[in-house]
């Protein structure tokens, strides 16, 4: 589920319930996810008020009023869901679904909104590649986030900056775009989609999209634009839902219906008049989907 657009969608789903709410208690149902949960997590958060929900790259940040920031990463299979009312009368949730889900409910935040409504925010993660961290001095200062590159949102990432980042790199372009120290928030899906939109091959050496120093590169311009646009489009569509729900309210993202290449091996390229067939290769141990005809 979670690349930047999915995490942003989760943030927007949780925000109306969590911002301004007070944390009554926190249940940690196991001591660790990918890493041990923060020391005394429940004690640190109980009784505190949530001032804001933020996001940096694929990290969700839960800011505590006058206190620390809880940093959450969803890994590959992590999700949050919002519950209210008694657990025995959850509407629309079948028994077998509830029990299948509950086996991987690892952390539960019990909240009370300013109006008195009670909510449970449940973190579920079957594979436990997710993790939570507590940062005392702001999320950005935490070592795990300090080295992150530019956000592919807004207009910071332009052709000039992208060209500079790629210049001299011999790794495949796909691998460089996945490097969170350069651009923070892209994952396997959106790298594939951005490269298709830019008409660039994932196999090309990253440095070949850079112009000589001080000059502009049409390839870098096209790719920077494609990255910004695909991320914006995906956020607008509520992210992509593959095997899991992306949204805290259980609804589905829609961007998977817009995939041009991801998981489309053997299917026709969607670029008008291209006529190519989407291919799947493996790069650094992960699937890459692209059109060998129009992506050079």
Residues designated as active site? 2-3, 58, 286
Nearer to DNA, 68 or 126 (CB): 126
In the complex, minimum distance from the CB of residue 156 to DNA, in angstroms, rounded to a whole number: 18
Nearer to DNA, 21 or 135 (CB): 135
Does residue 13 interact with DNA by CB under 7 A? no
Q: Which residues have C-beta within 8 Å of that of residue 285, sequence separation ≥ 6?
A: none
Exposed e or buried b for every residue in 74-103, given b needs 16+ CB within 10 A?
Answer: bbebbbbbbeeeeeeeeeeeeeeeeeeeee
Q: Which residues have C-beta within 8 Å of that of residue 86, sequence separation ≥ 6?
A: none
| Interacting span for DNA (CB under 7 A) from 12-20, 86-94, 193-201, 235-243 | 235-243
In the complex, minimum distance from the CB of residue 218 to DNA, in angstroms, rounded to a whole number: 22
Separation of alpha carbons 211 and 215, rounded Å: 6
Cα dihedral 19, 24, 27, 31 sign = positive
> Which of 135, 157, 195, 206 is the binder for DNA (CB under 7 A)?
206
Q: Are residues 75 and 125 in contact, defined by beta-carbon separation less than 8 angstroms?
A: yes
Burial grade of 22 (CB within 10 A; 0-12, 13-18, 19 or more): middle
In the complex, minimum distance from the CB of residue 219 to DNA, in angstroms, rounded to a whole number: 17
In the complex, minimum distance from the CB of residue 168 to DNA, in angstroms, rounded to a whole number: 7
In the complex, minimum distance from the CB of residue 178 to DNA, in angstroms, rounded to a whole number: 7
Query: Which residue has 């992590």 as its token pair?
Result: 78
Grouping H, G, I as helix, E, B as strand and the rest as coil, residue 215 is: coil
> Which of 2, 13, 38, 68 is the binder for DNA (CB under 7 A)?
2
> Which of 11, 55, 56, 104 is the binder for DNA (CB under 7 A)?
104
Grouping H, G, I as helix, E, B as strand and the rest as coil, residue 72 is: strand
Cβ atoms within 10 Å, residue 65: 11
Nearer to DNA, 18 or 191 (CB): 191
Q: Are residues 183 and 172 in contact, defined by beta-carbon separation less than 8 angstroms?
A: no
> Which of 42, 52, 113, 144 is the binder for DNA (CB under 7 A)?
144
Nearer to DNA, 169 or 197 (CB): 169
Query: Which residue has 């949050």 as its token pair?
Result: 80
> Which of 161, 244, 254, 277 is the binder for DNA (CB under 7 A)?
244
> Which of 17, 37, 50, 246 is the binder for DNA (CB under 7 A)?
246
Cβ atoms within 10 Å, residue 242: 13
Rule CB under 7 A: which of 29-48 touch DNA? 34
| Interacting span for DNA (CB under 7 A) from 36-44, 153-161, 193-201, 233-241 | 233-241
Query: Which residue has 């996945």 as its token pair?
Result: 178
> Which of 22, 29, 128, 270 is the binder for DNA (CB under 7 A)?
128
**Using CB under 7 A as the criterion, which residues of the chain lie in contact with DNA when the complex forms?**
1-3, 6, 34, 57-58, 73, 75-77, 100, 103-104, 126-129, 144, 169-172, 175-176, 178, 180, 186-189, 206, 239-244, 246, 253, 284-287
């Amino acid at each position: 589920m979670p690349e930047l657009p999915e995490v942003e969608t989760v943030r927007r789903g949780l925000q109306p319930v969590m911002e301004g709410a007070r944390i009554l208690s926190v249940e940690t149902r196991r001591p660790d996810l990918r890493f041990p949960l923060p020391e005394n997590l429940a004690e640190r958060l109980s009784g505190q008020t949530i001032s804001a929900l933020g996001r940096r790259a694929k990290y969700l940040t839960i800011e505590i009023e006058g206190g620390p920031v809880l940093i959450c990463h969803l890994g590959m299979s992590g999700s949050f869901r919002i519950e209210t009312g008694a657990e025995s009368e959850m509407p629309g949730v079948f028994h077998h679904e509830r029990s299948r889900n509950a086996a991987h409910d690892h952390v539960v935040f019990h909240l009370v909104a300013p109006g008195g409504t009670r909510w449970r925010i449940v973190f579920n993660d079957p594979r436990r590649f997710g993790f939570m961290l507590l940062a005392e001095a702001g999320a950005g200062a935490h070592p795990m986030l300090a080295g992150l590159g530019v956000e592919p949102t807004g207009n910071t990432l332009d052709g000039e900056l992208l060209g500079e980042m790629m210049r001299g790199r011999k790794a495949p372009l796909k691998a460089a775009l996945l490097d969170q120290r350069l651009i923070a928030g892209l994952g396997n899906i959106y790298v594939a989609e951005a490269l298709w939109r830019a008409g660039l091959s994932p196999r090309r050496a990253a440095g070949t999209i850079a112009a000589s120093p001080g000059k502009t590169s049409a390839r870098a311009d096209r790719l920077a634009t494609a990255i910004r646009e695909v991320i914006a489009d995906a956020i607008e569509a509520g992210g992509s839902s593959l095997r899991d729900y992306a949204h805290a309210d259980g609804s589905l993202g829609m961007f998977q219906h817009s995939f041009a290449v991801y998981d489309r091996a053997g299917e026709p390229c969607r670029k008008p008049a291209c006529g190519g067939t989407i291919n799947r290769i493996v790069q650094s141990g992960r699937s890459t989907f692209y059109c060998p005809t129009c992506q050079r």
